[in-house]
Every structure is written in C-alpha cells, then in structure tokens.
Amino acid sequence: MSDELVLVRKGAYHDSVTLMRVSRALSDLPGVESAMVAMATELNVSILREMGFSLPEAGPGDLVIAVRGRDTKAAAAEAERQLTAFHPPAAPSGQPPLTTGSAARTPADLVLVSTPGEYAFFEALDAVYAGLPVMIFSDGVGLDQERRLKELAETRDVLVMGPDCGTASIAGVGLGFANVLSPGPVGVVAASGTGAQQVTSLLDWAGVGVSHVLGVGGRDLSAEVGGLSTLRALRMLDEDPATELIVLISKPPAPQVARVVREAVAGLATPVVEALLGSGAPDLTEATEQVLRALHRPVPEWPSWPGTARDAQKKTIKGVYSGGTLNVEAAMIAGPGDFVDYGDDVYTRGRAHPMIDPTLRAEALAHARAGDVVLMDVVLGHGADPDPAASLAHAVARTPATVVIALIGTAGDPQDLHRQAAAFRAAGAAVFTSNAQAARHARSLL
C-alpha cells in the first residue's frame, strides 16, 4: 500500500545539482514510486502538484522533501542523510560572506556566479564594480544586461565570461563543466562550452595541453553583444607568455562581428586558428588538426569503437544533444534531420543540465523508432554526470533505433572514458571521440 510524505525545511538551501542527485537516489530506492527534493520555487511547486503531492505552505527559500511509496519515512531519512553529506563545511572564519560585494573584499581572484538568471546580473555587476573578472555560469540573463556588463568591464579592465558560460580553465583550474587537461601551449577563447571541450579533449588525445580556456558566453559574437569579451580574451592570451597559439571557437557568429574580430586577430603577435562553425568553415575536428599542424605535431587517428548493426532500413537522423555547438556542428554535417539541443534554456528551466540529468534524453531514446539513427553526445569531466553510461546505456540497449555517440572527454576524466566507451559499445552504440566523425558515420547509415 502506497503512502505519501511531504516535509518542509524552512530556510534550508541546497543547490539544484545536489537536489537533483538526491531526488534520483530516492527514486531508485526499492518501494519508492515517486520522489522529489527541491527548493519550493514557483516552478518546483507546480511540478510537485502535477506529481500529485499535497503541499503545506512553503516559500522559495524552503526545502521540500516529497516521497510516495511503501516506506516513506525511511526514504525521507535517506534524503536527510544525503543532504547532510552534501552540505559544505562551515567557513573557518565563522560566517561566510553573504553578498558578492563583501566576498570581493576578501583575497579573491575571480567571481563565479551560479544563481537563477534574474539575480545573476546584479551579482556579476558587483564583481565588475569590485574590479574582479567574473564567470557567469547562469543563463537567463537579458541581452541588454549582458551588453551593459561587458561595456562596464571594459572600463574596469576585467573579463566577463558568460552569461551561460559552462566551461573555463584558468591556469589548470577547471570551472563549470571541465575536463582534466594537461598544461600546454594552446590558449582557447570559446563562445561555446562543449565546443571548447571537444577541441581540448582532442588536443589531449594528441598529447597537447592548454594554458587557459576562456569562455565568453554563447551570445558574445552576436550582433547585440559585439564580441566584447572575445576581443578582451584574445588580448589577454596574446599577452600571456605561456600561450603560443590561440584557438577561437564559436557557433556561426554575426558576420559584422566576425569581421571586427578578424581585424583584431590580424593585430595580435600570437597566431590564431579559427574554429567558427559555418558554411565552408572547418568543423571542430578539422580545426583541431590545423592547430596540431601549426604546432608541428602529428595528427593521430581519433579513437572510435564500432557499434552493433541493426537491420531496419534507416530513414531519419535524430540529434539528441546536450551541447549546443556540438548539435549545430552535427546538423551541418549530417544533413536533414530532427536535431534538438536539450541544453537550451527552454529545457533546463527548473531542472539540471542534460550533461548532469539524463532523463529527457533517455525519454527521447525510448520514443525513437526502428528507422531512426539517433546521434547524440555524451560529455565527460568534472561537473558532469559521474557515470552517464549507468543510466543512458540501458536506454541505448532498449531503443529500436541505431545509436551513434560522440563521447567527449579525456583519459584523465573521473568517469573513465574507456569504461564509458565499452559500456555504450556493449549496449550497441557506435562511439566516436570526434563529433564530426560521429555525424559523418550517422549520415553514411542512411
């Protein structure tokens, strides 16, 4: 017989990634039919009500633990145990800073903002006013706000990375979704997190490390923003003695902004390789190979593992992606098909990014048909799902479609790339470390 338990913890804040992982762990417990652990925001409350839970009064600063099943008290106790384990230790000096402005007065080198988008602008503004570079992991910041931040950053001589900057690496310290990379001569300026991860992972396979990866946000090369952070990041890497070559990565930029950036590149002392996706431009793998040739390094054969042939006639390619730039690249190479970027804001509002939470993509695999070729990315590294094959490989094995996977990561990543590749291959997928090669393989199956 099912029971329902809903607990409210007033003022008990936990970040969305922690809460998503606890929710998943509870849902996997024997006898649990449904579970959700979340902050009582308006969106989460509506989701809980749609799940059939009756909620007591709670506000956005309160934590809700909702469980339905046979032994709800045991499940709630497990939630409390896991939340305690995830809770960070208290600051050594007692009360930690409560605002970005007060935190900036400590010996800080950089501010990382990861709040709901409607608040991120003001926190980033405090950082820029304090004269500190800022990485805005949050999405949902308005274009006009982004432009204002970056114009102010020019007057303060600091770099704004983002909004929606998912990946950066500063002198070997990874921020956001970050692969394990060796130090080396290549600096990266990227208006694409997964694009940067693809290029740097391939460079790692070739034995070439990076100095810094400076993300600038996916809209920086738009006409509205004008490449302000890209231009500053290029100047910074040009002045960095550890950087011998720069790679510039982006989805198709606004033509007028691309012209301005190319004029700036022409005035730099450090050579720049462009990886700006677009008609007639090199894909990310080809751009990586250009970098290796410019450094007089051999171009290796990029690792891949064949999949299991499925006999049905292939009719349609379906892109099921977590990375926007990888999705764009795959669509450009594979040709006509149905491509979805599940990392887009419309899919991440109120839920964790698909590089962390596989639910939506597992559902897409479940709804694929025998005539489909499903082309998808699996991105490894710190911040991503600690074991994506544990959930997605089952969905790959069950789908009647043929599955082709671009596995983006390095040998040093905590998920163990070779173990992930073996699990997906055992489930029947063809696996490539190059997204471009995965897209060409998918096209060849039609």
In sequence order, what are the residues at sequence separation of 6 or more whose Cβ sits closer than 8 angstroms to the Cβ of residue 358? 385, 388, 391, 392, 395
Q: How many residues does the chain have?
A: 446
Predicted pLDDT of residue 150: 98
- Domain 100-294 has what CATH class? alpha beta
Predicted pLDDT of residue 99: 79
Mean pLDDT of 423-429: 97
Segment 141-162, tens digit of pLDDT: 999 999 999 999 999 999 999 9
* Every domain range in the chain assigned CATH 3.40.50.261: 100-294, 304-444
pLDDT over 80 (residue 228):
yes
Asked if residues 410 and 279 have their Cβ atoms less than 8 Å apart, the reply is no
Mean pLDDT of 330-342: 96
Q: Report the C-alpha gap between 53 and 36 in whole angstroms.
A: 10
Fold for 304-444, please state it: Rossmann fold (3.40.50)
Predicted pLDDT of residue 28: 82
Predicted pLDDT of residue 94: 58
Predicted pLDDT of residue 92: 52
pTM passes above 0.95: no
Predicted pLDDT of residue 123: 94
Gyration radius from the chain CA atoms: 22
Lowest mean pLDDT among 135-144, 277-286, 311-320: 311-320
Mean pLDDT of 306-313: 77
pLDDT over 80 (residue 253):
yes
Predicted pLDDT of residue 249: 98
pLDDT over 90 (residue 313):
no
Predicted pLDDT of residue 12: 86
Residue 224 DSSP SS3: coil
pLDDT over 80 (residue 126):
yes
When the pLDDT of each residue in the chain is averaged and rounded to a whole number, the result is 92
Segment 14-47, tens digit of pLDDT: 877 788 788 888 888 999 998 999 888 887 888 8
Higher pLDDT, 167 or 104: 167
Predicted pLDDT of residue 315: 87
Per cent of the chain over pLDDT 90 is 74
CATH 3.40.50 fits 3-86, yes or no: no
First to last CA, the chain: 49
Lowest mean pLDDT among 77-91, 198-212, 222-236: 77-91
Instruction: For 40-103, give the DSSP string.
Output: --HHHHHHHHHTT----S--TTSEEEEEEES-HHHHHHHHHHHHHHHSPPPBTTBSPPSSHHHH
Distance from the Cα of residue 117 to its chain's centroid: 16
Predicted pLDDT of residue 377: 98
Work out whether the CA dihedral 65, 70, 71, 73 comes out positive or negative: positive
Q: How many CA atoms does the CB half-sphere of 72 hold within 13 Å?
A: 16
Higher pLDDT, 157 or 117: 157
Predicted pLDDT of residue 359: 87
In sequence order, what are the residues at sequence separation of 6 or more whose Cβ sits closer than 8 angstroms to the Cβ of residue 424? 378, 389, 392, 393, 396, 403, 405, 407, 431
Segment 161-205, tens digit of pLDDT: 999 999 999 999 999 999 999 999 999 999 999 999 999 999 999
* Every domain range in the chain assigned CATH 3.30.70: 3-86
Residue 216 DSSP SS3: coil
Mean pLDDT of 315-333: 96
Per cent of the chain over pLDDT 70 is 97
Q: Which of 378, 401, 399, 398 is nearest to 389 (CA)?
A: 378
Instruction: For 358-426, give the DSSP string.
Output: -HHHHHHHHH--TTEEEEEEEE-SBTS-S-HHHHHHHHHHH-SSEEEEEEE--TTSTT-HHHHHHHHHH
In sequence order, what are the residues at sequence separation of 6 or more whose Cβ sits closer than 8 angstroms to the Cβ of residue 436? 283, 284, 285, 286, 329, 330, 333
Q: Report the C-alpha gap between 357 and 25 in whole angstroms.
A: 12
